[in-house]
Amino acid sequence: MKSVVYAGTAVALALLLAASGFAASPAGGDQLSPVPFDETLTTGLTGVDVQQAETAGYVVPKGQVFYSQYQYVVGYYGMESLVTGVTGSRHTEQFGQPLAVFVTDLSGTDPQLTDEGYVTLSNSIARGWTRTADAWFVVGTPARTPAGPTTVPFDDRAAAQSFADEYDGEVIDWDGLKDRLAGQGDRRDRQPPTAKHQQWANETVEQAQQTRDRPTSVVVGEDAATLAAAVEQAPANTTVEIPPGRYDTNLTIRKPLTLRGAGTETVLDGGTNGTVVTVRSPRVGITDLRFVGVGESNAGNMQPDNGSAWDKRIRLAYGYGDAAIRMSDAHRSLVENVTIDTPSNGIVALNSTDAVVRNIEVDGTEEWRNGFMSVLPMYSRMVVEDSSFNGGRDAVYTHYSDGTVIRNNEMENLRYGYHEMYTSNTLALNNTMRDTNTGIILMTRPTGNVLVGNDVRDSDIGISTVGGASYTTDNVLVNNDIGLSIGTSRSVYRDNTIVENSVGVRSSTMLPTNDVFENDIVANDRPVSASLGTLNSWALEGRGNYWGTVPGLDRNGDGVIDRTYRPTDAVDRTARHSAGSYTLAHAPTVQTLRQFQQSVPGLRGSTIVDPSPLAAPVNPDRLDALNVTTP
């Protein structure tokens, strides 16, 4: 009886608040004014694209929208993303109706296009904002942003017509622009570009491996007394053969040459005094060797740096520390079949594009705080494959190394398995991580990264992502504190198996622009945790995720349960295990209170909803292999 009285009180409170006009109303849009764009929550372009455009002096047309059910102003880079944000069902479902929409006004700025189509302004001071109802839009010109062709907005029709005449465009109003872009929606490709990355990696490996085919010119101990003498004596594009034995060396290679040993029986010992081998030439091959005696300095060979203080510290600590092998301007070089024991770095690559590291084994420090990076590409697009890393700080740490491919590696007992900073358009494929703080972590403005087929278990966090326009698909995340941490925008999360973690998925996105669908999120202590007051809908085109036993029926046999599932809702979380909770979840009073909370930003919690939960697993074979019982 008490529960009935309580429920009735909750409904009365909801109706009273609704009647008072506390919820936002579209009628208030006329009183709203534009805010500084840096105070909005932005989408439409990645931070890297924006920074590069602004550094070059280019202008990206912008829009900003006040929504009825969202407490933040949303900023859009590009008119195309703005139209999607105002007309798309996804945004209206999660933000409510647009109350006021403003666009950049380029009237009086005398905009010009560069040869590439980027917008520059002769008078940037005149730039302001105008409501879309008062705006004119020039379409069909060569104008573009880093995301592609773009529309240019004006408040003054004469200014718009002048720009259109100069660049063969057409002037239309807001309704015309919406009609022109109708149906385009969000045109992102939901399939990760794995094949493109794989092709580049395969070609790069094939090219680098040509260094193995060089003829032998010098044999250490036969043709030259020492390794250093052999390297000095050998002609370029030949091989120095190093027989079994231990060789004390701190060697520098300054010409295209190949060092080939006899496997682990050939040991290069640096005597704990600095870097063992330094490479300062393209197309160097280092194969079939074991490295020991690496120095322990993490700031040796310091060089001046004109970057930020933070970047300088990172480069000095990680980029210029001692290593078994240091490559500098060593483009298209190869390190293969090498074993490294190191208290600091394993392989450091600085400005060494198209270098390849493959089939190596690195043993670092038992306590990660005492060690450094097994492989560290810095300003170097590389391939790292078929290798194993145990101990030390990070297995692979990339810094400004766009396009790097990390595939088929084993990583364990580390701080991070794959750690990415200021790096975009990479592929991490089929790597295995165990006992890490975080298996894969993307940090600091990354975009376009592809994480496919990785297996992370027994770690604090399986995969942690930030940035935008990335893909996290086909990964297996098991028995971690947090399986998957989502901090991206405009990214795709699909076909992942997230099982038996303390928290399956942690979401910390301010804008609900990610596609999270067709994942198996099963048998986690807590399926989802969310921060920030946003409503995220995790489904795409009528396909959500599989959550295990979710009460409900699939009446039409389409594989989708006929009720919304809320993994962040305490009632829904327990409804999988209790018939009484299921009844409560569907009670009219609970439904009314939920709806009201979502309509009032002040009452809204951080909520994830799946409007189309799947009735069967996406990958039942994986769940069977993990001994996860499915209904």
Residue pLDDT, tens place only, 485-509: 998 888 999 999 999 999 999 998 7
Residues 144 and 249 grouped into a single domain: no
Answer yes or no: are the C-beta atoms of 150 and 103 closer than 8 Å.
Answer: no
Domain count within the chain? 2
Residue 568 in domain:
no
Q: What type of residue is 477?
A: L
pLDDT at 599: 47
Residue 220 in domain:
yes
Domain end call among 427, 462, 490 = 427
pLDDT at 629: 74
Q: Is 510 exposed, middle or buried (0-12, 13-18, 19+ CB in 10 A)?
A: middle
Return the CATH number at 297. 2.160.20.10
Residues 293 and 331 grouped into a single domain: yes
Residues 200 and 174 grouped into a single domain: no
Residue 107 in domain:
yes
The encoded tokens of residue 21 equal 């006009």
Residues 358 and 214 grouped into a single domain: yes
Give 516's contacts (C-beta < 8 A, 6+ positions apart): 486, 493, 494, 505, 536, 538, 539, 545
CA distance 504 to 597: 25
Residues 161 and 216 grouped into a single domain: no
Residues 206 and 88 grouped into a single domain: no
Residue 77 in domain:
yes
Residues 168 and 218 grouped into a single domain: no
Residues 172 and 250 grouped into a single domain: no
pLDDT at 536: 81
Residues 282 and 329 grouped into a single domain: yes
CA distance 576 to 560: 16
Residue 448 in domain:
no
Pick the closest to residue 53 from 161, 162, 150 (CA basis): 150
The CA-atom distances, in angstroms, between 515 and each of 1, 54, 291, 519, 536 are 43, 28, 45, 11, 10
Taking CB atoms within 8 Å and a gap of at least 24, the contacts of 209-215 are 209/334, 209/336, 209/356, 211/256, 211/258, 211/283, 211/284, 211/285, 211/333, 211/334, 212/258, 212/260, 212/285, 212/287, 212/334, 212/336, 214/238, 214/239, 214/257, 214/258, 214/285, 215/239
Residues 163 and 260 grouped into a single domain: no
Residue 528 in domain:
no
Answer yes or no: are the C-beta atoms of 466 and 443 closer than 8 Å.
Answer: yes
pLDDT at 186: 52
Residue 630 in domain:
no
Domain end call among 400, 427, 454 = 427
CA distance 594 to 514: 23
Task: State the 10-residue block means of pLDDT for the chain, 631 residues long.
Answer: 30 32 47 91 76 85 89 87 82 80 95 94 86 96 87 96 96 93 62 95 98 98 97 98 96 98 97 96 98 78 47 58 94 98 95 97 94 94 98 95 97 97 94 98 88 98 91 98 92 96 90 89 94 76 89 84 85 54 48 46 61 94 88 58
Max CA separation in the chain (angstroms): 98
pLDDT at 630: 64
pLDDT at 302: 38
Q: Is 603 exposed, middle or buried (0-12, 13-18, 19+ CB in 10 A)?
A: middle
Residue 623 in domain:
no
Q: Domain range for residue 335?
A: 194-427
Residues 77 and 225 grouped into a single domain: no
Task: Read off the pLDDT of residues 217-246 as tens digits, 9 standing for 90 and up.
Answer: 999 999 999 999 999 999 999 999 999 999
Residues 72 and 200 grouped into a single domain: no
pLDDT at 602: 37
pLDDT at 580: 47
